[in-house]
Amino acid sequence: MGKKNCQVTEFCLQGRFVGFVLEDGYQIKLLRLETVEGESWIKLSKEARAGLGQVLLPGDWIEVCGERKLDTQTGAVKLKAYRIRLKAGVQTQIVSLEAKVSQSKKKPACILVCQKSDCCKRGAMEVTQALAEGLRDRNLEQEVIVKGTGCMKQCKAGPNIVMPDKTPYRRIDASVVPEILDKHFDTENQSKDAVPVFATVV
């Protein structure tokens, strides 16, 4: 798409998150968004990927804003996202979360997940998804968020996560995420002396 034939405008779309298109099996390249006009595939800028903060699940209602490039000769359109916001109906979850925080005067707890290439190759994306789904199943999505981070310096022991109480886990598999969540957030049903055999605690 040559610059002379390129018309650049801004766009802002709302719709249902369908999923990501991955490159090399683990790197997020495109976002699939279902709107009333059909499905759009939107390239993610570095700013958009860094600003995601919370994990998106298929079916989430989101708002995507960015740059729209139109090739005036061919009619081809390319979309590039610079900002993504998770929404719940008319009110964004960001606003809802801020209201809850102001009422309780307590910030949500945060589970950190390394999302550098070595950890992603070992299944960090699946672990991230399992954490988000597990928190929703336990109605904890407002109290606990999942956040992707840079390298935790334990590349060969990935995927790596750190729980809100600073407990790190190495070599995590998505299948054991429910046990980890129960251990940290559902203590009534867990023995205090229980030692997890499903992951390495450092």
The residue ranges of every structural domain in the chain are: 7-92, 108-201
Type of residue numbered 150: G
Which CA distances in Å does 126 have to 9, 48, 175?
A: 35, 20, 9
Is the pLDDT reported for residue 190 higher than 50?
no
Tell the residue number behind the tokens 């957030």, with chain if given: 185
Which CA distances in Å does 20 have to 29, 81, 110, 125, 188?
A: 7, 13, 23, 11, 37
**Which of 51, 64, 55, 54 shows the shortest CA–CA distance to 14?**
64
Whether domain 7-92 has CATH 2.40.50.140: the reply is yes
CATH number for the region 108-201 comes to 3.40.30.10
Same fold, 7-92 and 108-201: no
Of residues 123 and 23, more confidently modeled: 123
Taking residues 55-64, what's their average pLDDT? Answer: 84
Mean pLDDT of the chain: 79
Q: Phi, psi at residue 20, to the nearest 5°?
A: -110, 155
Is the pLDDT reported for residue 8 higher than 80?
yes
Taking residues 61-86, what's their average pLDDT? Answer: 89
Q: pLDDT-based confidence at 25, cuts 50/70/90?
A: low
pLDDT tens digits, 134-173: 988 888 888 888 888 888 888 888 899 999 999 999 998 9
Q: Phi, psi at residue 157, to the nearest 5°?
A: -110, 20
**Contact call for residues 100 and 138 (beta carbons, < 8 A):** no
198 CB burial (10 A radius; 0-12, 13-18, 19+): middle
